[in-house]
Amino acid sequence: MKNTCLCDSTSKLIQFTNCSLLRDGKIIREDLWVRDGKIVDPEKVFFDEKVSSDGRIDCKGALISPGFIELQINGGFGVDFSFNTKEVEKGIQIVAHGLLAHGVTAFCPTIVTSPRDVYHSILPVLKKMPGSKDGAAVLGIHLEGPFINPAKKGAHPENLICSLQEGMKTLLDMYGSLSDVSIVTVAPEIDKALDVIEELVESGITVSLGHSMANLQQGEEAVKKGATLITHLFNAMLPFHHRDPGLVGLLASDVVPAKGTIYYGIISDGVHTHPSALRIAHRTNPEGLVLVTDAISALGLEEGTHQLGQASIEIRNSRAYIAGTDTLCGSIANMIECVQFFHKASGCSVEKALEAATLHPAKVLGIENIKGTLNYGADADFILLGEDFDLWSTWISGQHVYQAEGKPQVRIIKVPEDIKPVM
């Protein structure tokens, strides 16, 4: 990776020109202005401060989109968040850095169903952190289990799945701390789940419904308690049935408040979700669709056999299998591939495809004023794209943190004396 960072320019007013922007659901031909890591309203600069830009950057016709936000990722680049407990900080840095090459500027590391001591060793160390030249921002932990239905365990170890015997007390005893937790996945039909959902929501944590046998009514009761997200729609839940559509039915439920939205993660990798299912979900509830990769530790590794934890995994034809078999063992798609596949399968606009990986996940966490948008005052976390979502470069807080090999590099048209590009 070649880094062309304007590393000393954080207090300078930088104008990105010769570009298009995704803003307010539209692609517009307009310059992007950045200062102090934030997106700036140029009118206020012109009329109130009466100054011009300190530096101009030629974007060579690129489309500037907010950086991708990943709400469900189990690891990558050889790191498993639920397994590499002794090197948590090192592992998170490896993944945060690797994700820059996929246009991801913020993510929620996901811990799957694990023993109590794993939570107690990982959660105190796995902290929220801002994005930087070293990697994408950590927006908080996504705890996917162990309070799920064993009948829909997926790849989760059944012997570690737990009930909520004493409600919130059981949950807190299992996790130890919720201080840096942003999302908790729960099966709403298990005993005391509704009370726990209500308490989690009151504490500011997003509750997602998943790995569940819940019928529609049980899902609706959870929504009434404040649940707003569904974990990887269609996967690890009851299939849609016309007399009881299960959690899938929440996409069109009349229980959802008029101004509310049920968001749903969906794995758009061409393996976990059929294109027709993608189209059905998108046409039913386009504003709630959130692209997730649900990627495992094999993400970003080369084709061949790899020993990851206790498992031997073989990557061939861009898919991960248990070594020596044809059994799929998880997703290794990156977010760019998911956006591309979703755009093609759904027939949606470029704007909608990008918002499913930017604005919508930001809304899930209630941070849409600062992340997932290019509106004035938001963090200057963005990506430069060519045709067909081809990633050129990644920027965090207005700093150039990743340059794709062989892709157009931005050209500095005007640079103040105290701003020097670092190669």
Q: Which residues are catalytic?
A: 294
For 13, the 3-state DSSP assignment is coil
Report whether 43 belongs to an annotated binding site.
no
DSSP 137-172: EE--EEEE-SSS-GGG-TTS-GGG----TTTHHHHH
- The structure tokens listed for 328 are 């799929």
For residue 232, how many C-alpha atoms fall within 13 Å in the half-sphere facing its CB?
27
CA-wise closest residue to 142 among 268, 260, 231: 231
Report whether 74 belongs to an annotated binding site.
no
- The DSSP element (H or E) to which 263 belongs, if any, is strand 263-267
Report whether 211 belongs to an annotated binding site.
yes
Tokens 């000393």 locate to: 8
Q: How far apart are CA 229 and CA 216, in angstroms?
A: 14
Report whether 329 belongs to an annotated binding site.
yes
Report whether 400 belongs to an annotated binding site.
no
71: phi then psi, degrees, rounded to nearest 5: -95, -10
CA-wise closest residue to 189 among 147, 235, 231, 243: 147
- The structure tokens listed for 154 are 């997926």
CB 3 within 8 A of CB 394: no
Report whether 316 belongs to an annotated binding site.
no
- The structure tokens listed for 150 are 């064993």
Count other Cβ atoms within 10 Å, centred on residue 254.
6
Report whether 288 belongs to an annotated binding site.
no
Q: How far apart are CA 195 and CA 175, in angstroms?
A: 17
Report whether 236 belongs to an annotated binding site.
yes
DSSP 288-345: GEEEE--B-TTTTPPSEEEEETTEEEEEETTEEEETTSS-B--B---HHHHHHHHHHH
- The structure tokens listed for 417 are 């004396």
> How far does CA 169 lie from the centroid of its chain?
29
Report whether 7 belongs to an annotated binding site.
no
CA-wise closest residue to 282 among 234, 346, 228, 233: 346
Report whether 283 belongs to an annotated binding site.
no
Report whether 243 belongs to an annotated binding site.
yes
Q: How far apart are CA 146 and CA 162, in angstroms?
A: 6
Residue stretches of the annotated binding site for Zn(2+):
144, 211, 232
Residue stretches of the annotated binding site:
144, 155, 211, 232, 235-236, 243, 272, 328-330
Residue stretches of the annotated binding site for substrate:
155, 235-236, 243, 272, 328-330
